[in-house]
Amino acid sequence: MDSLLITPDFGMKFIYKNTEYEIVSVYLDRIGISSVIAGHRKDWSRDFFDELIEKKLIVVTFSKSEIIKSSKVFKDLKKKYNYVRYALQNSSTPHNNNNLIDTIEVISKDINDISPPTTRTLSNWIRTYISNNFDIKSLIDNRKGNSSSRKSFIITQALSKALSKALNSPFTFSAEDIYIEIIQYLEENQVPYSEEDLYSLRQIQRLKKQHYDQFTKDKAKNSIRFAQNNCKASGQKIICQGFLNRVEIDSHQLDLVILDDETFEVRCRPWITIAIDIFTRIILGLYISEYPPNSYTTLQAMKNMVTTYGVPDVVIPDNGSEFINNSVLALARELQITLQPAQVKTPDNKPYIERFFRTLTHNLIQKIEGTTFSNRFHIEEYESKKYAALTLSQVNECLVNWIKIYHSNFHKGIGRVPMAKYNESTKSYRPIIIDEDYAEFICRIPHFRKISNGQIQYENLFYFSHALRTLELKGSRDVTIYVNESDLSKIYIKTHETDKIIEAISTDSEYTSNLTLDDHHEVQNIKKCLKDKDLKDYPYSDNVLARITLNQLIISYKKQNKLNRRRFIDSYDPLKFLSSLENSNSNKINKEEKMIISKIDFGTFDEFSYESLNGDHNER
């Protein structure tokens, strides 16, 4: 097809840069296209499309446009197009008389036209071309009446501006609003007009409908993501070769309020993580929790899958952080599972798990007392929290029983009973089922830590092992720990050098016995609240003032002691102790002499004799 005849028509398909596109909207001077496979929407200008046509970068694969078979019609069309294109490119006011004369003079010489058009005829061609969305086939003379509008160029331009503003506004514009916008544009540009020159309300309504584009309106009113999803058709069917060839996994918040397992008080709406096999529609993995999806819930669902049904070839998870993280990637690398994350906020990439959630909601969850329903108009005055009746464990038991029923019912999507197709598939294919103990280890969440004094710290908890101390003394401090968030009593440790596995137990075994990470976080939050309360009752500013007062007291004692010491030094006599020592010694000697004299009485010296000493004197 000649590039001149390639005009953007609704439904046209073409290939550009090895990607097939489809034209889904033609409005004003814009062309809306969507990729056939992914459905991503783009907006091109007509000038850009024509440029690609001239450079022959577009290959048309489907077009409903009629092919011009007559060479005479084609030649006449090409001549008109040359005049119109030059007039539009040569001046911003193509209907200007000087521009029209200049266009006729240049093009007629260029193409050797012996019968060039008049300025009025060329102006009509330009008006017809613009009013028909720059469609070149509108220049064909069909002689079936005048389908183009006989309005001046400035009126047509005012209408185009008004329609563009209405289309790109999040608010609704009526025909009257567009009519007012046209008048306002003319007054701002000081263009004289009469009511006969303007479009009627009926014409405006028809043109508004003709140039309306839902994608542009949704993008202006909501967001680009909403517009992409709303204006995109469902994608192609996913081809699956057999059982466990492709598995979809996703999380969903149940429309149900549950009770606490111990106090039976109203808790929350639980979350469920499901893995489904595309080929047989068998539910491979299931995990339900009160807390939002995270890496732990994903690992538990995958653990349930690989220990019950086997290891899949490809897993299609959501693009959230609960599925794309180091823990899940490490598990996929260990089991040689290929991860193919779905596109961001694109549920069409995993339609089977989304359809299962809908089936689960309508057939089970919304039939249990305490349901919140999916639509706020359905709930009306129903008090979900008042009628909540089941605990988390009871909901889990009900889910397991309902899934057994689901496996035994006829499935329209595969035209078989899922369990029958599963049994038939496993006869020719034996899946690889992982041992429970091995799965318990590889389905833990890895973290990188350093050994310190034979201990590992995780979430303010300490784990010890004498083997860790030996590694630390050898210089191997960097290790990888594997944590089971449902039981923090122990962790497994893998060294980076020898890949040996070490078990470390908690230093506070009584506290961590059957302790989950969520419960530990709640305890930490309680401690934090107590800490905040203590700091509020005993603010840090009071401690600062107390420390300042204490420092001032210490300084005052220091000054006082320094002054007392100086006074003591000034009044101290270094020789004083000698005189006091002599006096004390003499006094001591006198005292001793007196003591001796007082103790020994020799009597009268004249009467003294040796006999008296012998005791014989008195006898004689």
CATH number of the domain enclosing 324: 3.30.420.10
- How much is the pLDDT for 146? 47
Q: Would residue 361 count as lying in a domain? A: yes
- Of 482, 536, 526, 537, the closest CA to residue 504 belongs to 482
- Show the CA angle centred on residue 87, arms to residues 82 and 89, nearest 5°: 95
For residues 301 and 412, state if they share a domain: yes
Give the ranges where 319-417 is alpha helix by DSSP (H): 326-335, 351-363, 376-379, 392-408
Question: Which residues lie below 8 Å from residue 610, measured CB to CB, with a gap of 6+?
Answer: none
| CA distances from residue 25 to 43, 61, 156, 165, 397 in whole angstroms, order as listed | 9, 17, 21, 17, 51
Is residue 423's pLDDT more than 90? yes
Pairing of strands 490-495, 246-253: unpaired
User: Does residue 566 sit within a domain?
Assistant: no
Domain shared by 365 and 288, yes or no: yes
pLDDT tier at 507 (50, 70, 90 boundaries)? very high
The tokens describing 63, both together, are 């077009």
Q: What is the pLDDT of residues 197-207, one digit of tens each?
A: 888 888 888 88
Q: Are residues 313 and 396 in the same domain?
A: yes
Residue 593 has pLDDT above 70, yes or no: no
* DSSP code, position 92: S
With the C-alpha atoms ordered 484, 490, 496, 500, is the resulting torsion angle positive or negative? negative
Mean pLDDT of 80-105: 86
CA end-to-end span of the chain, whole Å?
A: 179
Structure tokens at 270: 């639980």
| Number of structural domains the chain divides into | 5
Residues 287 and 408 in one domain: yes
In this structure, is residue 611 part of a structural domain?
no
Q: Which two tokens stand for residue 520?
A: 């530990």
Task: Judge whether 3 and 56 are in contact, CB under 8 Å.
Answer: yes
* 134 has pLDDT over 50: yes
pLDDT at residue 71 tops 80? no
How far apart (Å, rounded) are the C-alpha atoms in residues 551 and 44? Answer: 76
Mean pLDDT within 352-375: 89
537-572 residue pLDDT tens? 888 777 788 888 888 889 998 888 888 888 877 776
Rank 405-414, 477-486, 569-578 by mean pLDDT and report only the highest: 405-414
Whether pLDDT at 603 is above 80: no
Q: Are 118 and 197 within one domain?
A: no
State the Cα–Cα distance between residues 554 and 546, nearest whole angstrom: 12
Band (610; pLDDT cuts 50, 70, 90): very low
On whether both 182 and 39 belong to a single domain, the answer is no
Q: Contact 213/227 with Cβ under 8 angstroms?
A: no
Based on the fold, state whether residues 386 and 510 are members of the same structural domain: no
In a domain, residue 539? The reply is no
Mean pLDDT of all residues in 477-505: 85
pLDDT of amino acid 392: 92
pLDDT tens track for 140-196: 766 544 445 567 778 888 888 888 888 888 888 888 999 999 999 888 888 888 888
Q: Which of 512, 502, 509, 508 is nearest to 479 (CA)?
A: 502
Q: Quote the pLDDT of residue 608.
A: 46
Q: How many C-beta atoms surround the C-beta of residue 412 within 10 A?
A: 7
Nearest to 238 by CA among 152, 142, 136, 353: 353
- 470, 348: one domain: no
List the domain range (segments joined by +) for residue 287: 246-428
Say if pTM beats, i.e. exceeds, 0.75: no
Listed in order, strand segments (DSSP E) in 101-236 are none
Percent of all residues in the chain with a pLDDT value above 90, rounded to a whole number: 22
CB atoms near residue 52 (< 10 Å): 17
270, with CB counted inside 10 A (0-12, 13-18, 19+), is buried
Average pLDDT, rounded, for the chain: 82
Q: How confident is the model at residue 301 (pLDDT cuts 50, 70, 90)?
A: very high
The pLDDT of residue 586 is above 50: yes
Instruction: Summarize the confidence of residues 418-425 as an average pLDDT.
Output: 93
Let me know if residue 400 belongs to a domain. yes
Q: Residue 234: what pLDDT?
A: 65
For residues 315 and 8, the model is more confident at 315
Query: Residue 617: how many CB atoms within 10 A of its CB?
Result: 12
Interstrand relation of 338-339 and 314-316 (parallel, antiparallel or unpaired): parallel
Please indicate, yes or no, if residue 394 is contained in any of the structural domains.
yes
Q: What is the arithmetic mean of pLDDT over 461-490?
A: 89
Structure confidence by residue, pLDDT tens digits, 210-259: 888 888 888 888 878 778 777 777 666 777 889 999 999 999 999 999 99
Q: So what's the pLDDT on residue 341?
A: 87
Please tell me the predicted confidence (pLDDT) of residue 581: 56
For 522-542, the pLDDT digits (tens) are 889 998 898 888 888 888 777
Question: Tokens in use for 249?
Answer: 């996994």
CB 119 within 8 A of CB 100: yes
Verify that 350 and 461 share a domain, yes or no: no
Strand ranges across the sheet with 314-316: 283-289, 271-277, 246-253, 314-316, 338-339
